[in-house]
Amino acid sequence: MKVSNQDEIREFLASRRAKITPEQAGLPAYGGNNRRVSGLRREEVAMLAGVSVDYYTRLERGNFGGVSESVLAAIARALQLDDAEREHLFDLARANLSLRPARRRPAQQRVRPTVQRILDAMTDVPAFVRNNRRDLLAANRLGFAVYSEVYADGAQPVNTARFLFLNPRAQTFFLDWPGAATDMVASLRSEVGKDPHDRGLSDLIGELSTRSQEFSTLWAKHNVRHHVSGTKGIHHPVVGDLQLTFESMDLPADPGLALIVYGTEPGSASHDALSMLSSWDATQIQGATPQDAIMSDGA
């Protein structure tokens, strides 16, 4: 799936413009019920941003040549963009102004031994290293245990986006599947804005758009968000429901890679379940069954 940067700019700006009503922008709703659009007109965005209608129209058509940061900031204010949307707009502008290289083949990414040792040292929390395409490149033992359903998918590379949209078990694994799906698409949209020439990323988007109607519908909304911390609910086949907090941290020495660490509230049922899962993981390595692990843990 190859979408031009100009298409991305046009569709993103038009989608944000459609979300803001004149009332929300502090403008009189001229035309009343006869307005042809529910959101702002181009001339209204231009007025709010302090640029001419012709100039804004040129920008919305994807022609960002010569646009200044101050104009982009004014448009972001006019469209009431949040931090993630504003960053996405600037990413699109940078990509439009830079030289357009050929689509790059995805580079083979490896997790450095020092990073793997850090993962392995985290014995009480699940942890992973992933890339911008949501491939899981490494995990610690508890990470493998928590995401056992994802790793059992059999697809290579292990990819949480593919599991989420293409594996029927994902509907049960994620307690809030619609929320997880919305977050995944919005975060992938943000990644595309940062690096539109990533062939592996664009191929993934094309695959999911073709094979999943849910993904295609969400992708068309052009929503973006930062998904670097929060909570995630999953149903594990061994220990039941888990409510997990997570933090995502970029690895500066490994561009495009991030360390994801999960946790639980101390004293919560999820904390106890995660401890039980850790015991199950240890006994699995020794050849015991999950039932044996749970029984011995509760004895």
What is the predicted pLDDT for the residue at 157? 87
Q: Helix/strand/coil (H, E, C) string of 210-229?
A: HHCHHHHHHHCCCCCCCCCE
What is the domain partition of the chain in residue ranges?
Answer: 5-97, 113-298
Q: Check if the beta carbon of residue 176 is closer than 8 Å to that of residue 163.
A: no
Q: CA-CA distance, 89 to 97, in Å (whole number)?
A: 13
What is the predicted pLDDT for the residue at 100? 53
What is the predicted pLDDT for the residue at 144? 92
pLDDT along the chain (299 residues), means of 10: 73 94 83 70 95 95 89 96 95 75 61 95 95 95 94 87 96 97 96 88 95 97 91 95 96 94 96 91 50 40
Q: Which fold has domain 5-97?
A: 434 Repressor (Amino-terminal Domain) (1.10.260)
Q: Check if the beta carbon of residue 228 is closer than 8 Å to that of residue 132.
A: no
What is the predicted pLDDT for the residue at 287? 43
Q: Does domain 113-298 have CATH number 3.30.450.180?
A: yes
Burial of 114 (0-12, 13-18, 19+ CB in 10 A): exposed
Q: Check if the beta carbon of residue 161 is closer than 8 Å to that of residue 133.
A: yes
